[in-house]
Amino acid sequence: MAAKDVLGRRGEDLAVQYLEQQGLVVLSRNWRCRQGELDVVATDADRLVVCEVKTRSGTRFGEPAEAVTWRKAARIRRVTQAWLAAHQVRWCEIRFDVLAVVAEPGRPVTVQHYEAAF
């Protein structure tokens, strides 16, 4: 695994840990289909929470959340449709969140949670 993938994996672990602390139940991790991948799919009992996790080792090249562009958002929406179909969920409220994880070497890791980001 490349270094960036290791970092991403670590970030996703931290994100899941964070979400579970918030009382969410994680349904899927790294769910893939032809259109792409969903990092974390969770639920807070009322609605489906689809999370995009972005991890960076520093902010020199911008905040991680800035890397979630409208194209990325559109892809996540499409993949979410596929997820719903695959799991035969008929209708439910969906929230799209972004979790920005900054893991700078030698500093405590920060997780910033943008609820209903798009």
Q: Using CB under 8 A as the criterion, which residues of the chain lie in contact with another protein when the complex forms?
A: 63, 65-66, 68, 98, 100, 112, 114, 116-118
Nearer to another protein, 24 or 102 (CB): 102
Phi, psi of 81 (to 5 degrees): -60, -45
Nearer to another protein, 37 or 63 (CB): 63
Q: Which two tokens stand for residue 107?
A: 């500093």
- Residue with tokens 């090249």, as numbered in its chain: 61
Question: Residue 21: which H helix or E strand, with range?
Answer: helix 3-21
CB of residue 73 to another protein, shortest distance in Å: 8
Q: Which amino acid is at 107?
A: R
Nearer to another protein, 20 or 115 (CB): 115
Count the alpha carbons within 13 Å of 93 in the hemisphere toward its beta carbon: 7
CB of residue 80 to another protein, shortest distance in Å: 17
CB of residue 1 to another protein, shortest distance in Å: 28
